[in-house]
Amino acid sequence: MARLHVRSHCARMHGSSAWFERIRSAVTEAACRQWREQWPVARASRRGLDIPLLPSPLVRRCSWLLLLVVLLHVFVLVWTQHPWAALFTAGVAVSAWLGRRVGRPPDVALRLLVNADGRLQLLMASGTLQDVQVHPASMRLGPWMLLRLRMPRARLTVLLGPDNVEPAALAALRRRLT
């Protein structure tokens, strides 16, 4: 009964229940389609790709900008006489900054290899090859590609773009991933 009341209230607010139902069904369908989406796979090609995984200068600049904004917020908290909130915020900022510097795993991914048969592998710093899958949460963001790579026991997120990958290699990777 409460559900019927909410629907009739929304129908009065939005003009007609048919319009509201169409919007609700479109949103529900889009959410279900996203949930059931297939994992992207790399297509086979005549040649493989070798893409170095370098840190993005854009991400580095944005992280420094975020740290600057947080420290500015700490200054405002101290200025408005909120020392405990300032101390907590500064502690969170410092721990995030140190965690990014200190908490790097010893076996870091150096290169993304897309074999001619379509398999994706990561070349690790130890010299081993890890098979990976591209997660459906990966996306294209204008000229950049945000790749979520899934390994057997870990996940890796990589931002590839014109600032850290050659344009030809980036275009070839875009064509290969379906």
What tens-digit pLDDT sequence spans the chain (178 residues)? 444 444 444 444 445 566 667 776 666 665 544 444 555 666 667 788 889 988 888 888 888 898 899 999 999 999 999 999 999 998 988 887 776 665 556 678 889 998 888 888 998 888 888 899 888 888 888 888 888 888 888 888 888 999 999 999 988 888 888 6
What is the residue range of 152's domain? 49-58+109-176
Domain count, the chain: 1
Indicate the average pLDDT of the chain. Answer: 78
Q: Does 78 fall in a domain?
A: no
Give a yes or no: residue 153 inside a domain. yes
Within a domain: 160: yes
pLDDT attached to residue 101: 61
Is residue 120 a contact partner of residue 134, using CB atoms and an 8 Å limit? yes
Within a domain: 93: no
Contact between 147 and 138 under an 8 Å Cβ cutoff? The reply is yes
pTM of this prediction? 0.64
Dihedral (Cα; 20, 22, 27, 31), 10-degree rounding: 140
